[in-house]
Amino acid sequence: MGLAVNGVDIDDRQIEQELAHHQSAANPMKQAVHEVVLRTVLRQEADRLGIEGSDDDARIEALLTQEVSVPEADEAACLAYYRNHPDKFTRGAMVEARHILFQVTPTVPLDLVRETADGILAALQAAPERFGELAAQYSNCPSSAVGGSLGQLNRGDCVPEFDDVLFRLGENEFAPRPIETRFGLHIVQVLRRLDGSLLPFELVKPQIAAWLASAALQRGIHQYLQILVGRARIEGVVLDGAASPLVQ
């Protein structure tokens, strides 16, 4: 493939071996190439610094441990996160909701589906008592047989983009616009809700500190990769350190 890092060639066998680990990626070949190049950059840096280990993975881990350091999250940072994300630490929240699902298919333009959903949402906002009737007529979900009812839902029961909107709605409130998920477009109404209770800060502080430390470490590794890539002479591909699975 004509790939080289600092004058050292990368052969096709390395790419082929790595490719097997990235079949679920949007572009498996591109991801495999980036991964091999970044590992080569890190391995060369470990050589330069004289870092030893039982194998390449151990040497790269030792390199990152030595070169990337981040401060521990202090109490103020943890408290700010706790106050800014109360939904993450609320337990027992529950809603009773109903929806109408409009599936998006290759044969029906998304704009047409959205226009239909917007029109039905407007009709329901004017006459909520028609929900069951319109769910039976339009919904592509089995719940259409029971008026669109989803029953009682706990936080986390639905896909995140649906969940996020659902638990912000008040009783008898419609989502202001159809929610788009991988299943299609949803008109959603919450009928009843139970807000649950916020866990005490002291109970969740260790968890928050771990999250913040992990996020800071990922940012540190991301920046370190970008620095190494910027210094390296890479031929055959253009990349930065941002997209590597190494930082996940």
Residue 239 has pLDDT above 80, yes or no: no
Residue 245 has pLDDT above 60, yes or no: no
**For range 131-153, the mean pLDDT:** 96
Structure tokens at 69: 């350091």
- On whether the pTM is more than 0.75, the answer is no
Task: Give the pLDDT of residue 246.
Answer: 42
Residue 248 has pLDDT above 90, yes or no: no
Residue 242 has pLDDT above 70, yes or no: no
Rounded distance, CA 88 to CA 198, Å?
Answer: 9
Residue 67: enclosing H or E segment and its boundaries? helix 56-67
Lowest mean pLDDT among 18-27, 179-188, 218-227, 232-241: 232-241
Within 10 Å of residue 11's Cβ, how many Cβ atoms? 10
What single DSSP character describes residue 247? G
Residue 47 has pLDDT above 50, yes or no: yes
Rounded distance, CA 89 to CA 173, Å?
Answer: 24
Within 10 Å of residue 182's Cβ, how many Cβ atoms? 8
Half-sphere exposure of 123 (CA within 13 A, CB side): 14
* Domain annotation for the chain: domains and CATH numbers: 3-73+203-247 (no CATH), 93-195 (3.10.50.40)
